[in-house]
Structure 1
Amino acid sequence: MENANPKRPIKSWHEDDRPREKFLLKGRDALSDAELLAILLASGSANESALDLARRILNDVSNNLLELSKLDISALKKYKGVGTVKAITLAAALELGRRRRQAEALQKKNIACSKDIYEYMQAEMSDKAYEEFWVINLNTAHKIINKTFIGEGGLSQATVDIRRIFKSSLECNASAIVLCHNHPSGNINPSNNDIELTQKIKKAGDILSIKVLDHIVSGEESYYSFADNGLM
């Protein structure tokens, strides 16, 4: 087989080396992340094929698709050969992937343990560059009613309005809630501020007869449960 030459345009390569043709001949599982990304890019620049451009982009994020999904339009457009249309195409494809994970999580709406909460919220929070705070509202059978976005940024009394948390819970007749926030740094250990805020929310829940079951700190591949660690 003729080897692919990065200095030649993709269409001049052997059929087995072209990402689109390879997709059709061998199926999507046969393609590398770079080849799939090259299909989305469609073309590179005068000095770089789409496949080489894809490899360069992935190399810059340590071949981590979660890190790739954090790149915004302006960051993607910094690459020569990526204009607004290509950047939007990439961002849209990554967003579809996130929504697919979220749809899978929605199929399991019963909360039996902390892992269920983490899996339910992972698609929502895994690729965020900033901290986000969410509340999951549950009925008496611990089935999910809905989830509510509360705030963004470091957790503090200023960014997390306790009244807003329970307003959403009262509006949907929730009998229990679970708190969730992410740590983009990857360090899932709660801060002193996380612990203090959780206790304030728990006390407010006791007054309103809405039980605060857990607080999940979500990382990229792991999580911390306040309940599992005796902090509830």
Structure 2
Amino acid sequence: MESPEDRLDRISIRNWAEEDRPREKLLLKGKAALSDAELMGILIGSGTRSMSAVDVCKLILQKAGNNLNELARLSVKDLQKFKGIGEAKAITIVAALELGRRRKESDPVKRIKITSSQDAYDAIKPELWDKQQEEFWVLLLNRANQVMHKAQASLGGVSGTVADPKIIFKLALDHLASAIILIHNHPSGNLKPSEADLRLTKKLKEAGSMLDIPVLDHLIFTDHSYYSFADEGTL
């Protein structure tokens, strides 16, 4: 006959296959691969002596008709009626559902689409306006040429900054960018690219071609205007 200790060991999430544990499953397969009960199980963290966290959440969902909208109607006190759900766990579930409700009401962030060098200049203005030292930035674009992220690659002094290709393309790879636009400022207001600028641009363009992350442009930014390597045929 199975002892209580054996039964507890059998149902513990720790003894599930790694790919079936909710946290590990999320990391291995992505959040969409988890059931509602598994996602809730991550929230509450632990179950009872006779049920795993996921089993507790399955029971809660069943009582709510397996409908998240009905689940969201339950109060903290309602949730505390379930064995294994104390006040802290109940509050966690209620807070998560409230965040989901607020997300539905929020407008999705509109991404800037880059169709010209002027668009790129306007996109980076908030980051480089009035800066007194040189900075090197990268616009990370998706396949639709929309800005997914703006990242600072280096920070220098009043007369120059060093841009490391490894850092630039690591940023692109980390964000799964489909293309990038390079931008650095000249606090002096000089729009003419230096020989170092030309060499760096060529080096980065070649690296982007090898990684299938094309460099679409490189801008020299000043507060009043810009120089586009693409527009000027020097890319």
Q: TM-score, normalised by structure 1?
A: 0.52
Instruction: Say what the alpha-carbon RMSD is for the aligned residues.
Output: 1.5
CA-CA distance at 1:155 after TM superposition: 4.7
Q: Which structure would you say has the larger Rg?
A: 2
Whether 1:231 aligns to 2:212 is no
- Match runs of 1:133-152 below 5 Å: 133-152=136-155
Percent of aligned pairs sharing the same letter: 46
Contact kept, 8 Å, 2:111 with 2:147, in 1: the verdict is no
Aligned partners of 1:123, 1:186: CA distance in 2, in Å?
17
Give the one of 177, 186, 189 matched to 2:189. Answer: 186
Structure 1: 5+ residue stretches without partners:
1-105
Aligned partners of 1:161, 1:207: CA distance in 2, in Å?
16
CA-CA distance at 1:214 after TM superposition: 0.1
Aligned partners of 1:178, 1:188: CA distance in 2, in Å?
17
Contact kept, 8 Å, 2:137 with 2:153, in 1: the verdict is yes
For 1:93-133, what per-residue CA distance to the aligned partner results, in whole angstroms no more than 9, with x for missing partners?
xxxxxxxxxxxxx9660000000010111121121110000
For 1:47-91, what per-residue CA distance to the aligned partner results, in whole angstroms no more than 9, with x for missing partners?
xxxxxxxxxxxxxxxxxxxxxxxxxxxxxxxxxxxxxxxxxxxxx
Structure 1 segments, 4+ long, off by >2 Å, are: none
Aligned partners of 1:177, 1:145: CA distance in 2, in Å?
10
Whether 1:166 aligns to 2:172 is no
Aligned residues: 125
Partner of 1:124: 127
Structure 2: 5+ residue stretches without partners:
1-108
Per the alignment, in what secondary structure is the counterpart of residue 198 of structure 1? Answer: helix
Contact kept, 8 Å, 1:182 with 1:219, in 2: the verdict is yes
Q: TM-score, normalised by structure 2?
A: 0.51
Per the alignment, in what secondary structure is the counterpart of residue 181 of structure 2? Answer: strand
Aligned partners of 2:133, 2:126: CA distance in 1, in Å?
15
CA-CA distance at 1:195 after TM superposition: 0.7
Cα pair distance change 1:155/1:107, threshold 3 Å: farther
CA-CA distance at 1:190 after TM superposition: 0.8
For 1:179-228, what per-residue CA distance to the aligned partner results, in whole angstroms no more than 9, with x for missing partners?
00000001111111001001001111011000000001011110000000
Contact kept, 8 Å, 1:155 with 1:194, in 2: the verdict is no
Aligned partners of 1:198, 1:171: CA distance in 2, in Å?
21
Give the one of 102, 113, 116 matched to 2:116. Answer: 113
CA-CA distance at 1:150 after TM superposition: 0.8
